[in-house]
Amino acid sequence: MSLTVTASSATVSPPWEVIVLVAHRLDVRSLAVASCACKSWSISMSSDHLWKPICDTHFPSISNLHFIADFSVPYRRLYAIGHAAAKRRVQMPGNPRLSLGSLVFTINILTKNSPVVTLAKPCEELLVDPNGVFKFDIDVNSECSFAGLEDVKITWNVVLRGWRGVFTMMDCEGKVSLSPGSEGWFSEELPSPGCCSCAAAVSGMVADLKMGFCRKRERGGRKVKGSKQVSVGILSIVNWRYVTVDDGLRYLQHFLLPCDV
């Protein structure tokens, strides 16, 4: 839309009132383009009177930041911030730089007297869940023998091949009983990814580890021998569902890969 008029073969700018009247009918893109015409138009097209209703409509939660203490933030600037944040939210995350083939899971479940599970499993040997979530079932080809209720120490580490990095997913204590079904444990909330130095920062995710037994009872005694399967995964505590494999890898790469890779 042109905002100039022709009079006696000379092009002149219309009165300021006409500019404002027309500007109220322009969309955001047209306002931005018109503000580049000249200095006076830039001032007119950046007016809070024009941008306040736009900001109120599109980003009401940001619009109320116009006055912060004694500092007034222009509505045009607030709109730009809101627009940029909205674009970042809808952008698809990039592919993870980390692959399952570069990881090894080390899992230790120990009683005071003997190990229940001790393994180091390359992730490339694990089957990915049909739903594409970060959850893996690991067969343990050994037998354990214990009686009654046992205190155990549970540790799950994710190791970058070649011991180039390690991240502790779970380090806790629990109990193993002879009751039917699986034993399960959750970690504390995992640390926030990235370069956050605040120890209290959290991620909204927890590590999950379950151990199932195929039990055989010995004659004349209470001891139980059983083959085992361990399941590990990463859960979102927002909806208590397993995160996707890609999301799990994107999380782990913050701790296992250098920031400049």
What is the per-residue pLDDT across 71-80, written as a single tens digit (0 to 9) for each? 577 888 888 8
Q: CB of 186 within 8 A of CB of 208?
A: yes
Q: Give the model's pLDDT for residue 194.
A: 61
Write the CATH number of the domain with boundaries 5-90: 1.20.1280
Residues in the chain: 261
Domain residue spans of the chain: 5-90, 100-256
77-89 mean pLDDT: 76
Under the banding of pLDDT at 50, 70 and 90, the label for residue 88 is low
Please report the pLDDT score of residue 67 as a whole number. Answer: 67
| Whole-number Å distance between alpha carbons of 70 and 4 | 38
Task: Kindly report, residue by residue over 16-53, the tens digit of the pLDDT.
Answer: 566 666 677 778 888 778 777 788 777 777 888 788 88
Q: What is the pLDDT of residues 179-230, one digit of tens each?
A: 555 678 999 999 988 654 444 456 789 999 998 765 555 555 555 455 578 9
> Which pLDDT does position 34 carry in this prediction?
78
Note the pTM of the prediction, 2 decimals. 0.60
pLDDT at position 159 is 96
Mean pLDDT, residues 62-72 taken together: 66
